[in-house]
Amino acid sequence: MRTLEEQIDVTTPVDRTWELLHRFADYPRFVDGVVRATPHGRNRARLDVEICGVRRAVDAEIVDHGRGRVMTWELVDGVHLRGTFALRPLDGARTQVQLRLEYDPDTLREDIGGPRGFAQSHTVEEAVRTDLEHFKEVVERPPTRR
In whole angstroms, how large is the CA radius of gyration of the chain?
15
Taking the CA atoms of 38, 44, 46 and 50 in sequence, report the sign of the dihedral they define.
positive
CA 56 to chain centre: 17
What is the mean pLDDT of the segment spanning 27-38? 93
| All structural domains of the chain with their residue ranges | 2-140
Q: Cβ(93)–Cβ(13) under 8 Å?
A: yes
Separation between Cα atoms, residue 68 and residue 62, nearest integer Å:
15
For residue 92, the model assigns a pLDDT of 92
Q: Which CATH class is domain 2-140?
A: alpha beta
Separation between Cα atoms, residue 107 and residue 143, nearest integer Å:
39
Mean residue pLDDT of the chain comes to 84
> Of 4-18, 97-111, 125-139, which range is least confident?
97-111
Given a cut of 50, is residue 115 above it in pLDDT?
no
> Of 20-34, 51-65, 101-115, 122-136, which range is least confident?
101-115
| Model pLDDT for residues 35-65, shown as the tens digit of each residue | 999 998 888 999 998 877 778 888 999 998 8
Cα torsion at 96, 8, 83, 78 (round to 10°)?
Answer: 150
The one-letter amino acid code at 42 reads: R
Residues 6+ apart with CB under 8 A from 86: 68, 69, 70, 97, 98, 100
For residue 133, the model assigns a pLDDT of 96
Taking the CA atoms of 25, 68, 142 and 146 in sequence, report the sign of the dihedral they define.
positive
* pTM, entire model: 0.84
